Amino acid sequence: MTSKTVFITQEGPANALALNKDNSQVVIAGRNVFKIFALLEDRFEEVCNLRVGKNLNLNFSCNDVAWNLTDDHILATAATNGAVVVWNLNRPSRSKQEHVFVDHKRTVNKVSFHMTEPMWLISGSQDGTMKCFDLRTKEATKTFYSNTESVRDVQFSPHQQHTFAAVSENGHVQQWDLRRPDRYFQHFTAHSGPIFACDWHPEATWLATASRDKTIKVWDLTAKPSCDYTIHTIASVGRIKWRPQRKYHIASCALVVDCSINVWDIRRPYIPFASFNEHKDVPTGVAWRGDPQSFLSTSRDCNLYHHVFKDATRPASKANPQGIALNAKGDIAYACKVNVNAPTSSVRKQLIYPRKMPTSNDTFYMAFSMMHRFTVTTPQEPKWFKACAEGYLLSGKLNEICDHNAVVASKAGRNDISTVWSITKTLYTDSLGNILTTPPTVSKEDAVNTLNLSQMAIGPNAEQTNTGHENDVKSLQGEAPGVISGGDDETETDETPENHHFIGPIPSGYRRSFSGSKRQPKGDFFFGEGELEPMTMEYTNAYMHNIINNDNDWTLPKEAFPLRHEIQDRSPPPEQFPNHSPDINDDTGAITVEDQPCQLIVTAIPKPVFWDPTHLIEEALRHHAAIRDIQTSVSILIALGDRRKILNIEMATQEHWLLEYIDMLGRFQLWEVATQIIQLAWMPSVSQLNQQSTTIHACCSTCTKPLQRSAWLCDRCHTSRHALCSICHQVVRGIYVWCQGCTHGGHVTHISEWFNSNRQCPTGCGHLCEYT
């Protein structure tokens, strides 16, 4: 039984257990159980049931049991009725009861044999006394009065023959000399609550005490008692036992709550070194089997367990040794366990960790953490987020907003976002504003993009975004990761034909719109690289003409404009566009434009490419939300004003975006921006955010009593003087305005009329009031 955790269940709970001197047998004793078991290799075997006889009186009901350390056949029990009973296993009769001492007046808590003198037995009782019995004379030779209400534990010192320690319910520890029963020779207060147990260290001059105050304290008693270690446990401690051959280890079990038996390293008093969780109820006794690897325990769950150390759980190994946190600025706080053993080869050490337990045992108590803060020297994200949040215009004319915001974004280093704003501008301000009245003219570049559109419109959504992404990635490859990719796109964007010689905003509007969804690089790729498969283009007749006649000039001839009615009539509704395109392709011929680096197959179609940016914007917004750039999505959404109504984005999603953005602004403490957004919000759930739990308290100006029922009548002075208008001298019952300088005020209309022509306060107080 040295290597296995085994248990045996009894009919009743045992209060205590004791091992014989060679640790081969164990006795367990309780109110209804009193048995001896032999410890076999893989099980317990009952050797003797001591609870036999005709008269099973209270003498059989045990609080504690002790096995003589020299004579293997002598046992002693502390009975609940105040008796101390001695048992002789060598008695020939069935009953092994040898002698009953009935000296104590109340229940006996503890019995203990002397280490070297087999005839000496000491007891501690609830009556506040300790008695020393001589088994030869069968009488209580000495009585020690503790002057406390009850003695919970007594233990002979292993170091000094005549010394024993006693602990009591009032938190005191006493040291007595057996030869001087009149008075203890040492006395101190160890705990703030009752002490339930004590245990002498087998080698050091330490006495450990366990208390209801949830602590275990280790006292050095060589000179003046000093508390060397304190262990904070999670519950009242009922029993403690030093672990043999391990100087700093002590086992403890709780009196309540905690069913586990913990073994502590007193140098690391916060977390058990090992924990045994087999019991289902609180353990009542612990006894080491002489070696540090195994011990026995009894519990209120009626089980007797044999525990082996290798089956213990190690709470510290499950404990998370690291902490990490990131804040809004991007700072990282990091705490990690310092590797005491091998600070240089940490990786290697970790690999051998599970196998090499001794290493962890040796360093167990040396656990401590280091904490570091890593600050970002050049914070990127928070900076542009703040700059954009504060700089963005959100209401007004869309094109102004877009222009302004594009500048803000590019100043913040967000060139890609800046482009998005410009695109938005051209998409909406021009397309919706002008396009309906001008022909949907397209330059060649636009044609390329038109193609993209058609592809996009036809293909399933997911695929489309993927291709978009791939292009992004392509352009990104070779860049250091972590750099915001948009920057790259932007530089290319600037080279694109938009800057060349367009006639009007319309074509560029088109061009940009496409790249808007594609995030620019697509167009660039198709163009600059010429490595993509042939492209099909949908084109108006007029434009075909244009291109063919006027290869090198991509500007639109003015003559194109008169065509608009015709074109407009034929322009299909945007939604139908995807459906139409196959037909369109069918009846049109393909033309290859030779002078392009890429092979362009231009299909001439009779229908104009009038097209609605809605779903493109929608895509863009969703895309930015997906890449966690909620700022852009929300800002554009707000800037769009009523145009957002035609976007096919569910209200719930829009609300979601707004809430997330507001939350993010909160983190950066950009309250003003957040408030602005709340005010601009078009859904009640968001716009009412600021109206919740906002109360203004007002007081009467004469008696300073808070105005409770109404703002214009004071409950104490029963007047409305404080609410009179300075001009008409009537009580103001609606909105009251006042100057914070002189506190005078009145009806909004009256005051504003007055200040149209005057600067001083209407009351004549001489104050130059300032209203904003």
Partner 1 sequence: MFEAHSINAEHKDLIHDIAYDFYGQRMATCSSDQFVKVWDEDEHGNWHLTASWKVHSGSVWKVTWAHPEFGQVLATCSFDRTAAVWEEIVGEGSGPGERGMRHWVRRTNLVDSRTSVTDVKFAPKTLGLLLATCSADGVIRIYEAPDVMNLSQWTLQHDISCKLPCSCLTWNPSLSRLHPPMLAVGSDDSNTSNGGKVFIYEYSENSRRWTKTETLSNVVDPVHDIAFAPNLGRSFHTLAIATKDVRIITLKPVQDSAQSGLSRFEITTAKFEDHYCTVWRVCWNIMGTILASSGDDGCVRLWKDNYINNWKCVAVLKGDGTSAQSTETPLTTTPPNHPTGVQQPLSTTRNVTIATVTAEKPTAPIMSTSKWQAPVTKGRFSKSVWLGNPAEPSPLPPPILDRPKSKK
Q: Looking at residues 610 to 629 of the shown chain, list those that interact with partner 1 (rule: CB under 8 A).
A: 625-628
DSSP string, 289-310: -SSTTEEEEEETTSEEEEEEGG
Residue 346 contacts partner 1 per CB under 8 A: yes
State the minimum distance, in angstroms, from the CB of residue 24 to partner 1: 35
| Residues 237-296 interacting with partner 1 (rule: CB under 8 A) | 257, 268, 270-271
User: If binding is defined by CB under 8 A, does position 764 make contact with partner 1?
Assistant: no
Determine the Cα–Cα distance for residues 423 and 624; give it in Å rounded to an integer: 14
Pick the stretch among 525-533, 638-646, 708-716, 729-737 that binds partner 1 (CB under 8 A).
525-533
CB of 628 to partner 1, least distance (A): 5
Nearer to partner 1, 55 or 477 (CB): 477
- Residue 332 binding partner 1, by CB under 8 A: yes
Q: Does 538 bind partner 1 (CB under 8 A)?
A: no
Does residue number 334 form part of the binding site for partner 1 (CB under 8 A)? yes
Identify residues 199-228 at the interface with partner 1 (CB under 8 A): 214
DSSP state string for 558-615: GGGGGGHHHHHHHPPPGGGHHHHHHHHHHTS-EEEETTSSS-EEEEEESS-----THH
**Interacting stretch for partner 1, rule CB under 8 A, among 1-9, 188-196, 390-398, 647-655?**
647-655
| CA distances to 423, 630, 635, 654, 678 from 638, in Å | 16, 12, 5, 10, 10
Tokens of 437: 């009245």
Question: Between residues 281 and 583, which has the closer beta carbon with respect to partner 1?
Answer: 281
Which residues ranging from 373 to 412 are in contact with partner 1 (CB under 8 A)? 373-378, 381, 385
Contacting partner 1 within 696-725 (CB under 8 A) = none
* Closer residue to partner 1 (CB): 327 or 710: 327
Q: Strand ranges (DSSP E) for 223-331? A: 226-232, 237-242, 249-254, 261-265, 274-276, 283-288, 294-299, 303-308, 322-326
Find out whether 340 and 39 touch, Cβ atoms under 8 Å.
Answer: no
Which residues, 103 to 162, sit near partner 1 by CB under 8 A? none
Of 40 and 326, nearer to partner 1 (C-beta) is: 326
Residues 302-331 that bind partner 1 (CB under 8 A): 315-316, 318-331
Minimal distance, residue 670 CB to partner 1, in Å:
11
Residue number with CB closer to partner 1 (325 or 699): 325
SS (H, E, C) 690-725: HHCCCCCCCECCCCCCECCCECCECCCCCCCHHHEC
**515 closest CA partner among 440, 639, 620:** 620
Q: Give me the least distance between CB of 38 and partner 1, in Å please.
A: 35
Among 21, 105, 232, 310, binds partner 1 (CB under 8 A): 232
Dist CA 288 CA 241 (whole Å): 8
Q: Which candidate, 672, 666, 640, 665, places its Cα nearest to that of 654?
A: 640
Counting residues that bind partner 1 (by CB under 8 A) gives 91
What phi, psi does 92 have (nearest 5°)?
Answer: -70, -30
> Does position 574 bind partner 1 by CB under 8 A?
no
* Closest distance to partner 1 from the beta carbon of 225 (Å): 23
Tell me which stretch binds partner 1 (CB under 8 A): 68-76, 247-255, 361-369, 709-717.
361-369
Give Cα 98 to chain centroid, integer Å. Answer: 63
Q: Which two tokens stand for residue 401?
A: 């907003």
Report how far residue 593's alpha carbon sits from residue 507's, in angstroms, rounded to the nearest whole number.
20
Q: Which of 143, 350, 688, 690 binds partner 1 (CB under 8 A)?
A: 350
Q: Which is nearer to partner 1, 354 or 562 (CB)?
A: 354
Torsion angle (degrees, nearest 10) of CA 145, 149, 152, 156: -10
Query: Which CB atom, from 415 or from 475, has the smaller least distance to partner 1?
Result: 475
Task: Tell me whether strands 25-30 and 34-39 are parallel, antiparallel or unpaired.
Answer: antiparallel
Which of 223, 347, 696, 735 binds partner 1 (CB under 8 A)? It is: 347
Judged by CB under 8 A, which stretch of 67-75, 82-90, 232-240, 549-557 contacts partner 1?
A: 232-240
Closer CB to partner 1, residue 214 or residue 306?
Answer: 214
Q: Which is nearer to partner 1, 346 or 758 (CB)?
A: 346
| Residues contacting residue 538 through CB under 8 Å, at least 6 positions apart | 447, 450, 451, 454, 581, 584, 585, 588, 603, 605, 607, 609
CB nearer to partner 1: pick between 156 and 248: 248
In the complex with partner 1, which residue's Cβ is closer, 92 or 354?
A: 354
Among 120, 156, 295, 525, binds partner 1 (CB under 8 A): 525
Smallest distance from partner 1 to CB 595, Å: 20
In sequence order, the 6+-apart residues with CB closer than 8 A to the CB of 672 are: none
> What's the Rg (C-alpha) of the chain?
45
Task: Determine if 355 is a binding residue for partner 1 (CB under 8 A).
Answer: no
What's the min distance (Å) between Cβ of 665 and partner 1?
Answer: 11
In a 13 Å sphere around the CA of 402, the CA atoms on its Cβ side amount to 19
Asked if 345 touches partner 1 (CB under 8 A), the answer is: no
Whole-number Cα distances in Å, 274 to 13, 97, 104, 248, 268: 24, 39, 39, 13, 12
> Using CB under 8 A, which of 281, 529, 559, 583 touches partner 1?
529
682 burial (CB, 10 Å; 0-12 / 13-18 / 19+) is middle
Footprint of partner 1 on 449-508 (CB under 8 A): 466-467, 469-470, 472-478, 480-482, 485
Counting Cα atoms < 13 Å in the Cβ hemisphere of 687 gives 7
Residues in the chain: 772
Query: Tokens 């104009």 belong to which residue?
Result: 608
528 binding partner 1? (CB under 8 A)? yes
Question: Which region among 108-116, 291-299, 527-535, 581-589 touches partner 1 (by CB under 8 A)?
Answer: 527-535
Among 656, 738, 748, 760, binds partner 1 (CB under 8 A): 656
> What gap in Å lies between CA 409 and CA 693, rounded to an integer?
35
CB of 472 to partner 1, least distance (A): 5
- ∠ at Cα 82 (79, 88), nearest 5°? 45
CB-nearer residue toward partner 1: 131 or 624: 624
Q: Which amino acid is at 745?
A: G
Q: Which of 184, 162, 160 is nearest to 172 (CA)?
A: 184
Binding mask 659-698 for partner 1 (x = CB under 8 A): xxx-xx-xxxx-----------------------------
